[in-house]
Structure 1
């Protein structure tokens, strides 16, 4: 669906549904947000579901997060058609 990302605010982007409380942590029927694909991928590349459930369950908490806020600031300057590669952080790789 082409719309506005609720996290970075870019318009004309393809969005996906992000469960603010991960489904595996009880958020199946909870609050959701329409996020552009880069924002959604970046959240899950930086954090596991336990950390998301513990401290990143609102759009404001996501926007205020130190690691994510710098990405959002950079992403806002990118055209909606830009395709980027999102890699899992080294911390996330080690946790598995």
Structure 2
């Protein structure tokens, strides 16, 4: 987990209630491939996001895709589909 819970979403930057998003989804933690590739701390790394951004991440991508291609905040921020979703979320009320 990150050192300290921020006061805003790490994707849309809105100050609202936050949820913890595991960069490598928990469902993947028990798979041998990920156990060999990552240590326990790495598997539990994540970001703090609002519910709308969190739902958008999981609506756009399945767990395997998230684990393989989007295991960092930068990778999530650079994804065009997620950028469109975050742009929409920024217009929403908290």
TM-score w.r.t. length of structure 2: 0.74
Distance 2:91 2:57 in 1: 18
Q: Calculate the aligned-residue CA RMSD, in Å.
A: 2.1
Residue deviations 1:7-33, cap 9 Å, x none?
Answer: 11111x111111011112228752111
Residue equivalent to 1:14? 17
- Provide the rounded CA distance (Å) in 2 between the counterparts of 1:24 and 1:43: 15
Distance 1:78 1:37 in 2: 12
Aligned residues: 79
Q: Is the 8 A contact 2:21 2:54 kept in 1?
A: yes
Name the structure 2 match of 1:94.
none
Does the 8 A contact of 2:12 with 2:53 survive in 1?
A: yes
Number of the residue aligned with 2:81: 67
* Structure with the bigger percentage of strand: 1
Q: Is the 8 A contact 2:6 2:48 kept in 1?
A: no
4+ residue stretches of structure 1 with deviation over 3 A? none
What are the superposed Cα offsets for residues 43-66 of structure 1, whole Å, 9 maximum, x if unpaired?
Answer: 111110000011011111111111
TM-score (norm 1): 0.72
1:47 to 58, 61, 68: 61
SS in 2 for 1:4: coil
Which structure 1 residue ranges, 5 or more long, are not aligned? 81-96
Match of 1:4 in 2: 8
